[in-house]
Structure 1
Amino acid sequence: MIRAAVCFALAAISLTAQAGAAEISEPEGYRLEDYRAPTPATLRGAKVIHTGEAERIWRSRLASFVDVMPRAPRPRNLPEGTVWRDKPRSNIPDSIWLPDTGYGELAPSMADYFAKGLEKATRGDRTKLLVVYCVADCWMSWNAAKRALALGYPNVAWYPEGTDGWLGALLPLKDATPEPRPGD
């Protein structure tokens, strides 16, 4: 009963977000702040997909799914012996998780991490379909999909509902481990 209520609430949020998205216009560049806010309904150069199509693509295994959900860093000033546990992330099975790559500005090392992650996800096939996502109302996935287009990937799909829409449709999620960064 609780799961059904949660799914109903997520579906209502998703429909509300889709209705509001029509009012948001695309910026010329990347979104640089307020990343958890309603997103546009479009992304020039990319295909915008919703949960039903995302599921169909996922089941076909013809695309690489890229999760760009941020990951909270370990605080630098933790006292010696303090146990740190990362916040768990569940994503769409067989996705590659490239956390923190959806910010509007990336340090050169993060831009390189993103580029190498996409290369790994597509096994070097730049024409392979990339499905980029995060959670609902997350500009990080919009920015990352736009960045993939700028890197020369011509076949990009942006899934704005992300894991919220996926969970709302009762589709499977899997515990995620981020792709290692240089120096990890």
Structure 2
Amino acid sequence: MKRVFMATMGAILGAGLLAAGPAAAVDEPAGYRMDGYRSPTPAGLSGATTVDTAAARTLIEGGQAIPINVMKLDRSTLPGGPWIMAKPFHQIPGSVWLPGVGVGDPGPEMTAWFARHLARLTGGDTGRGVLFYCLADCWMSWNAAKRALSLGYTRVYWYPLGSDGWMEAGLPTEEGRPLPFD
């Protein structure tokens, strides 16, 4: 009886998994993603190297890429516009958090801020590895990596699983501190 029940449950679960199938592939757009940032992303980004968790870890631990967290935050309307953090956010250790640089059209001030910090982080070396991430199914990191390519960076890595994939792998995190917008 138990064997029949297990076989039946296995068949039901298997049918459900097969019926659901893999998520539909998303085509890589020509421009930036302008809205709906938390949705399925393309399999890759032309000009960049798409990496999984193991490759991201190897690049970061080997010092071959600077991890850049691009999770979006809102800014206060107070003078200096500090970032508003409703709760702590965990990121990959050693990351630099540049909030908002992954929106479709960040505007000239934010784009200049992004370019300045990339130049500072890489010592002006556009061949220095930079690894962009956000959360899983988030276009922010895809947009930021694409923007880094447009700024002339040649060793751009995109980690689409982001901090979600990092934590699912049981890897350590640290509390993120966004860089101030200056």
Q: Which interval holds the TM-score relative to the shorter structure?
A: 0.7 to 0.9
Q: Report what 1:112 is aligned to.
A: 112
Give 1:56 shift: 1.0
Give 1:85 shift: 5.5
1:35 and 2:7 are equivalent in the alignment: no
Gaps of 5+ in 1: 1-18, 77-83
- The residue type paired with residue 171 of structure 2 is L
The ranges of structure 1 where at least 4 consecutive aligned residues each deviate by more than 2 angstroms after the TM superposition are: 72-76, 84-87
3-state DSSP of counterpart to 1:94: coil
Contact 2:73/2:85, CA 8 A, preserved across alignment: no
2:48 corresponds to which of 41, 46, 49: 46
Give distance in 1, aligned partners of 2:85 and 2:163: 22
Q: Report what 1:57 is aligned to.
A: 59
Contact 1:117/1:179, CA 8 A, preserved across alignment: no
3-state DSSP of counterpart to 2:157: strand
Give 1:34 shift: 0.3
Give 1:72 shift: 3.1
3-state DSSP of counterpart to 1:66: strand
Give per-residue Cα distances to partners, 1:154-176, cap 9 Å, x unaligned.
11010000000000001111111
3-state DSSP of counterpart to 2:154: coil
Give distance in 2, aligned partners of 1:169 and 1:163: 10
Give distance in 1, aligned partners of 2:100 and 2:85: 18
- The residue type paired with residue 53 of structure 1 is A
Contact 1:131/1:158, CA 8 A, preserved across alignment: yes
Give 1:60 shift: 0.6
Q: Report what 1:121 is aligned to.
A: 121
Give per-residue Cα distances to partners, 1:44-101, cap 9 Å, x unaligned.
000000101111111112211111000133477xxxxxxx764322111111100011
Among the aligned pairs, what percent are the same residue? 45
Give per-residue Cα distances to partners, 1:8-54, cap 9 Å, x unaligned.
xxxxxxxxxxx43x610000000001000000001000000010111
3-state DSSP of counterpart to 1:65: strand
Q: Report what 1:94 is aligned to.
A: 94
- Give RMSD over aligned pairs: 1.6
1:136 and 2:133 are equivalent in the alignment: no
Return closer, same or farther for 1:26/1:177 CA change in 2, 3 Å cut-off.
Answer: same
Return closer, same or farther for 1:85/1:63 CA change in 2, 3 Å cut-off.
Answer: closer
Give distance in 1, aligned partners of 2:74 and 2:104: 17
Give distance in 1, aligned partners of 2:117 and 2:54: 26
Return closer, same or farther for 1:126/1:171 CA change in 2, 3 Å cut-off.
Answer: same
- The residue type paired with residue 31 of structure 1 is R
